Amino acid sequence: MEKAKDLQIQEMKAPRLVMFPLPFQGHINPMLQLATLLNSKGFSITIIHTHFNSPNPSHFPNFHFESILDGLSDDQALDPITLISILNDTCQEPFQDCLSRLLSNGPDPPIKCIITDTVFHFTQAVADQLGLPRIVLRANGATTATATYKLLREKGYFSMKDQRLDSLVPEFPPLRVRDLPSFSTADLEMVYQLSIKMENAIKASSGFLVNTFNDLEPIELEKLRRDYHLVQIFTIGPLNKFSPGSSNSLLTQDHSCMAWLDKQAPRSVIYVSFGSLASISKTDLVEIACGLANSDQPFLWVVRPGSIHGHDWVELPEGFEEKTRERGKIVKWAPQQEVLAHPSVGGFWTHNGWNSTLESICEGVPMLCCPYLWDQKANARYVSHLWRVGVQLENGFERDEIEWAIRRLMVDTEGEKMRERISGLQEKAMNCIRKGGSSYESLESVVDLIMSF
């Protein structure tokens, strides 16, 4: 009988994979989840990482870590898109030097290929230079991979004036113009150039992995396969469930909230978190606090250090503490996947970063959507209008609308219907990663592809 594939791999002295995550929390998590999965298939793993936002090697004792200089100065407070453009320039030489050194290290197992984030487009040229195959991982969904900034600008959607923001984008139903990717930088030419380079580097790669699952984005995946018909595309999500417990939190997660959740009634708590990059104004914070207080719902609220424009912290509204002492808890950073899995959590007020969106679906928790930038608006639109497992706040943070939306999600029958629908998606997600499921089989094909190099 054919030996188990992972046994075959181990007998080949665990061929080595070199993996290179984009240094942002929402990209580090899926890359390290993938690394853990491939390690369990018998590969030895080397993680090359930047000094900026470097992962913690102690969480992954089986992996080898290599840090490279990234050319960033510690005080650089740049928006993520500008940072990405700089990193694509400053990391090329240190990355190539590091990879060349690893290749010349003789006795170590041979390097089968590199796996990098799609955003690090420069790595394709390095892979070509060193004669290594490159596989790319997309940390976001398929939808926003097709509705790329390049394509949408060439169709003129970014030159529209406000009056057309609510127009539907016929090529990408149910998206409206207002749901298309938006950016923190004013330099949209830089975004356009980045979009082109990423697209070309994906087309030149040896495989395109997407952290989604077939039942979630079937139509978008068909579009993606048409757009990238020369590259094999593998849906291997949801990685957070396929490889549980292998995230790498850059901030210390406050586990005291788990004991607090244990004291709450089932499905009574709304969990509030806007990811690792979003920031809000002091006025927004006050509106959120008043909306939570007036909703009478228990809440677990993540207020990430540095997430309030220009303030380390701000005073909460008069009377907020007294009014919410018994039913509210604020932490700086939470063990999010454990929180969403807790039976007392009945709703997730989120910015709809892709990982948060997938994690909420995988735990069957309906969402209150407050997208901020980039792919979040499209994700929120899909949650609220296509999958219909959430409610979207469309007019920013205003206490009365917040109170009303929380009640719709947590108390009204509408929230119950959303819970039923998201439970269906949750079951489909779990089926995809079980033996014989689409993501399970895709991962087996990825292993075969790597072993064919």
Q: C-beta of 439: minimal distance to ligand UDX in Å?
A: 18
Cα–Cα distance list, 28 to 116, 172, 308, 379 (Å): 11, 28, 23, 19
Out of 24, 172, 301, 348, which residue is the one contacting ligand UDX (CB under 6 A)? Answer: 24
**With contacts defined by CB under 6 A, how many residues of the chain interact with ligand UDX?**
28
Please tell me whether residue 333 binds ligand UDX under the rule CB under 6 A: yes
From the CB of 351, what's the least distance to ligand UDX, in Å?
A: 6
CA distance 34 to 237: 9
Considering the rule CB under 6 A, would residue 375 count as an interface residue with ligand UDX?
yes
Nearer to ligand UDX, 139 or 405 (CB): 139
Collapsing DSSP to helix, strand or coil, 422 comes out as: helix
Q: What is the CA radius of gyration of the chain?
A: 22
Between the CA of residue 8 and those of 113, 345, 439, what are the distances in Å?
Answer: 18, 43, 22
Q: How far is the CB of 335 from ligand UDX (least distance, A)?
A: 6
State which residue, 98 or 358, has the beta carbon closest to ligand UDX: 358
Residues within window 260-279 making contact with ligand UDX, judged by CB under 6 A: 273, 275-278
User: Which positions from 278 to 297 touch ligand UDX by CB under 6 A, shown as an x/- string?
Assistant: x-------------------
We find the least distance from the C-beta atom of residue 29 to ligand UDX, in angstroms, to be 4
Question: With binding defined as CB under 6 A, does residue 149 bind ligand UDX?
Answer: no
Among 26, 133, 207, 291, contact with ligand UDX (rule: CB under 6 A): 26
Question: Which tokens go with 446?
Answer: 């990825």
Beta bridge partners of 269: 345
Return the structure tokens found at 347. Answer: 């709703």
Closest CA to 284 of 130, 402, 430: 402
- Where on the phi/psi map is residue 214: left (φ > 0), alpha (ψ -120 to 50), or beta? alpha
C-beta of 240: minimal distance to ligand UDX in Å?
7
Is residue 354 close enough to count as binding ligand UDX by CB under 6 A?
yes
Nearest by Cα to 431 from 440, 420, 423, 418: 440
CB under 6 A: which stretch of 44-52, 204-212, 328-336, 410-418 binds ligand UDX? 328-336
For residue 376, the minimal CB distance to ligand UDX (Å) is: 5
Q: Are 288 and 307 in contact (CB under 8 A)?
A: no
Span interacting with ligand UDX, options 82-90, 97-105, 184-192, 374-382, rule CB under 6 A:
374-382
User: What is the DSSP secondary-structure string of 422-446?
Assistant: HHHHHHHHHHHHSTTSHHHHHHHHH
The identity of residue 129, as a single letter, is Q
Q: Does position 212 bind ligand UDX by CB under 6 A? A: no
Burial degree of 386 (CB within 10 A; 0-12, 13-18, 19+): middle
What's the CA gap between 245 and 224, in Å, rounded? 29
Tell me whether residue 26 or residue 298 sits nearer to ligand UDX (CB atom): 26
Residue (43 or 149) nearer to ligand UDX, CB: 149
Give, in order, the Cα–Cα distances in Å from 247 to each of 59, 86, 358, 365, 420.
9, 26, 14, 20, 28
Question: In this structure, are residues 59 and 128 in contact, taking their beta carbons and an 8 Å threshold?
Answer: no
Q: How far is the CB of 371 from ligand UDX (least distance, A)?
A: 8
Residues shown for the chain: 453
Q: Which is nearer to ligand UDX, 27 or 419 (CB)?
A: 27
Specify the residue for token string 């990879």.
Answer: 99
| Residue 384 lies near ligand UDX (rule: CB under 6 A) | no
CB of 271 to ligand UDX, least distance (A): 9
Can you give the binding site for ligand UDX, defined by CB under 6 A?
Answer: 24-27, 29, 139-140, 247, 249, 253, 273, 275-278, 302, 333-334, 336-337, 353-356, 359, 374-376
